[in-house]
């Protein structure tokens, strides 16, 4: 029997990812697995962060300032991730939670961490709206899942049952 020793849960600070984190924590508690919580950020977030600071301070944006240093961006995101986990996970019990922040392409970074860390399971929260656009819209989600070196669990949002009928359900699976 295979055991789950490491669980990866990617986070984007949304309610959907909070649901995924809660579910991953419950799985980690039951399997005594280590939980790796990953947030992938983009360099463009640094520029929008500076714009927000300038507006809050009342400074006009006549000359665009140089971007925020990458190390500062990563440390800010690491702090955001720490606070997010503290807010979402009230009682982690004996679960070992490791936080990681990466800069770059979200799909490639998630795949890279899954391979580097020898992840046994990836938990992704299904969006609160239909999963159909995520699966069919460019196929980004399906392509990422197909490249994963381990199983991927798609968790529906809490308080929401799996849809009984949907476009996929009626057209393919209904008989």
State the CATH number of the domain containing residue 107: 3.40.50.620
Q: Is residue 78 part of a domain?
A: yes
Q: What is the CA radius of gyration of the chain?
A: 18
Domains in the chain: how many in total?
A: 1
Q: Is residue 23 part of a domain?
A: yes
pTM value is 0.74
Q: Is residue 116 part of a domain?
A: yes
Q: Is residue 115 part of a domain?
A: yes
Contacts of 33 (CB under 8 A, 6+ apart): 4, 5, 6, 7, 27, 95, 120, 121
Q: Is residue 32 part of a domain?
A: yes
Q: Is residue 1 part of a domain?
A: no
Q: Is residue 17 part of a domain?
A: yes
Domain residues for the domain of 113 are 6-173
Query: pLDDT of the chain along its 175 residues, tens only?
Result: 468 999 999 999 998 899 999 999 999 999 999 999 999 998 776 555 555 555 556 655 555 555 567 888 899 999 999 999 999 998 778 899 999 999 999 999 999 999 999 999 999 887 656 555 555 556 677 788 889 999 998 876 555 554 444 433 333 333 3
Q: Is residue 109 part of a domain?
A: yes
């Amino acid at each position: 029997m295979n055991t789950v020793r490491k669980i990866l849960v990617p986070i984007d600070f949304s309610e959907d990812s909070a649901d995924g984190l809660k579910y991953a924590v419950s799985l980690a508690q039951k399997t005594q697995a280590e939980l790796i919580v990953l947030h992938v950020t983009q360099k463009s977030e640094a520029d929008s962060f500076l714009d927000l600071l300038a507006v809050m301070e009342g400074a006009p944006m006549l000359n665009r300032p140089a971007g925020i240093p990458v190390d500062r961006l990563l440390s800010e995101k690491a702090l955001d991730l720490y606070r997010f986990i503290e807010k979402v996970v009230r009682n982690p019990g004996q679960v070992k939670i490791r936080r990681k922040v990466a800069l770059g392409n979200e799909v490639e970074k998630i795949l890279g961490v899954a391979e580097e860390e020898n992840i046994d399971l990836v938990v992704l929260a299904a969006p609160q709206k239909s999963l159909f656009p995520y699966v069919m819209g460019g196929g980004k989600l399906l392509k990422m899942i197909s490249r994963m070196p381990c199983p991927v669990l798609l968790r529906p949002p809490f308080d929401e049952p799996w849809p009984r009928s949907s476009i996929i359900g009626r057209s393919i699976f209904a008989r």
